[in-house]
Amino acid sequence: MIDPGMMSDILTPAYLPRPMTKSELIERVAQRTKITKNRAEQVVNCIFDSMTDALGQGHGIEIRGFGSFSIREYRGYKGRNPRTGEEVDVEPKRLPFFKVGKELKELVNGGGRDGESGGNS
């Protein structure tokens, strides 16, 4: 029998880092800013709520060096049900889209914050 606590380890390939959870983000904010976890949770929730509200109203969000969030509109189209092969109408939709900023892209691709290169040597 598989231990349920091990499922994420089994389902996530070893070469991929485990994603940071919201609770881990709250913990890190609390540690770095030396505020309580409760206060850090309020801050994180406030930021996420503000971003969600802005996107819900169709506004974009720009965070220099990190990236930008926008809403992309998609037209309806004819699709197929993968199980039955039956043709279905897919309704038009609006979805959030993230475009990574230059500094974050460089950081992820080998340039550390302290200027060290982790990359292609």
What pTM was computed for the model? 0.69
- Model confidence at 110, pLDDT cuts 50, 70, 90, reads confident
Check pLDDT > 90 for residue 75.
yes
Task: List residues bridging with 87 in a β-sheet.
Answer: 80
Length of the chain in terms of residues written? 121
Burial class (CB in 10 A: 0-12, 13-18, 19+), 40: buried
Tens digits of per-residue pLDDT, 39-74?
999 999 999 999 999 999 999 999 999 999 999 999
Tokens of 87: 């043709």
Q: In this predicted model, what pLDDT tens digit does every residue of 2-13 receive, in sequence order?
A: 555 555 555 556
CA distance 77 to 70: 22
Please report the sign of the dihedral spanned by the C-alpha atoms of residue 29, residue 34, residue 40, residue 44. Answer: negative
Work out the widest C-alpha separation in the chain, in whole angstroms.
57
Per DSSP (E only), the strands in the chain are 61-63, 67-74, 77-80, 87-90, 93-100
